[in-house]
Amino acid sequence: MKKESIQGIWYFLGERAISLSMPGIAKLTIDGVEFLRPYGTFSHPNAMAGFFVVVALFFLPHSAKTPKSSMQLGILIMGAIITIFSASQLAIGALLIAFLLHGVQNRSFLTAGLSICTGLMLTAITLLTKDDPLSITGRLEGISYALGIIKQHPFWGVGLGNHLRTLSALPTQGATLQLQPVHNVFFYALTELGGVSLVIGGLWGKHILSIVGTILRENLPLFLAVCITMLGDHYWITAYQDRLLMGVIAGLLWRRLREKPKQTLA
């Protein structure tokens, strides 16, 4: 509503000093009027959206028969609302797919209702707002440059933290390329680590992969939503809030899975 950051106490909690007039700011247009997309204390509205997609889905009941507390439902709905207000179509789409999958798996009226609301809001945002016209073009061009880097350094990559440095040294061929990481976690990892490093890491981390597989089986909607957002953005690697959340959520899910047999036996 202010079309700028609130500041005050929020500055000390990490809010950036931004306004609608600054270049490179995420905004959208509704009926010819420009609005600043909400950043919160994040580096970008998309990073905030991905964060709250995971928060919402973590508090999603496992089944229609699972007891639901008012706090659990409150956090779930709050996370969905914040995701919608971020206007991140990728995150909202991932949330919608996760709700639909959970509803089909568990025949849940809760997620059926959330799916309808999320789908309507995604349709409204897509049809009624005008987002950055170079968003998709820039993502595709970033992937093409990442593929060029992978082709030059297929085995060991360019090294951790060198993605942007290598990208800045490449001759630009289009006007839409911006100096920012490729909007795809998997291509980002390949450019910096290379194929051999990822294979060695995968073989060395078989236990970690088994944990991920277990979490996947038990929390498919959450895992699928994260994978979808990873395909279209890079904040799971570059935004520290999202990295911290991923580690915390993975640990909590693993603890929940380890305690599940004890609860069953009891």
Which domain-ending residue is among 183, 204, 225? 204
Are 102 and 152 part of one and the same domain?
no
Quote the pLDDT of residue 23: 84
DSSP state of 31: T
Closest to 79 in 3D by CA, of 107, 53, 117: 53
Q: How many domains does the chain have?
A: 2
Residue 2 in any domain: the answer is: no
d(CA 74, CA 49): 17
Closest to 226 in 3D by CA, of 132, 138, 98, 119: 98
Residue 22 in any domain: the answer is: no
Residue 16 in any domain: the answer is: no
Are 166 and 189 part of one and the same domain?
yes
Are 127 and 47 part of one and the same domain?
yes
Quote the pLDDT of residue 100: 92
Quote the pLDDT of residue 57: 92
Are 177 and 216 part of one and the same domain?
no
Find out whether 93 and 122 touch, Cβ atoms under 8 Å: yes
Are 151 and 244 part of one and the same domain?
no
Residue 7 in any domain: the answer is: no
- For the residues of 189-243, what is the DSSP string, one character each? HHHHHHHHHHHHHHHHTHHHHHHHHHHHHH-HHHHHHHHHHHHH--HHHH-HHHH
Are 53 and 171 part of one and the same domain?
no
Quote the pLDDT of residue 220: 86
Task: Give me the amino acid identity at 45.
Answer: P
Are 176 and 241 part of one and the same domain?
no
Are 245 and 228 part of one and the same domain?
yes
Closest to 242 in 3D by CA, of 24, 15, 53: 53
Cα–Cα separations (whole angstroms), residue 80 to 38, 54, 111, 213: 14, 10, 11, 26
Quote the pLDDT of residue 266: 40
- Cα dihedral 196, 200, 202, 208 in deg (nearest 10): -150
Residue 13 in any domain: the answer is: no
Are 80 and 192 part of one and the same domain?
no
Quote the pLDDT of residue 31: 81
Cα–Cα separations (whole angstroms), residue 236 to 176, 181, 198: 23, 12, 17
Are 72 and 98 part of one and the same domain?
yes
Residue 189 tokens, joined: 């990892």
Residue 23 in any domain: the answer is: no
Residue 147 in any domain: the answer is: yes
DSSP state of 59: T
d(CA 205, CA 71): 36
Are 120 and 238 part of one and the same domain?
yes
Quote the pLDDT of residue 134: 56
Find out whether 252 and 58 touch, Cβ atoms under 8 Å: yes
Contacts of 46 (CB under 8 A, 6+ apart): 26, 86, 88, 90, 91, 233, 235
Quote the pLDDT of residue 67: 64
Q: What is the pLDDT along the chain (266 residues), one digit of tens a residue?
A: 888 899 989 899 889 899 988 888 888 888 888 889 999 999 999 999 999 999 999 988 766 566 678 888 899 999 999 999 999 999 999 999 999 998 888 887 888 888 999 999 888 888 877 766 557 777 888 888 899 899 998 888 898 888 888 887 777 654 445 678 899 999 998 999 888 877 776 666 566 666 666 666 678 899 899 999 999 999 999 999 999 998 888 888 778 777 765 544 34
Range of the domain at 234: 42-131+207-265
Find out whether 214 and 174 touch, Cβ atoms under 8 Å: no
Quote the pLDDT of residue 2: 83
Are 168 and 238 part of one and the same domain?
no
Cα–Cα separations (whole angstroms), residue 246 to 1, 39, 58, 211, 235: 31, 19, 11, 14, 11
Closest to 145 in 3D by CA, of 194, 191, 198, 197: 191
Residue 248 in any domain: the answer is: yes
Quote the pLDDT of residue 236: 93
Among all chains, which residue has been given the structure tokens 């959330």?
114
- For the residues of 125-163, what is the DSSP string, one character each? HHHHEE--TTHHHHHHHHHHHHHHHHHHSTTT-S-TT-H
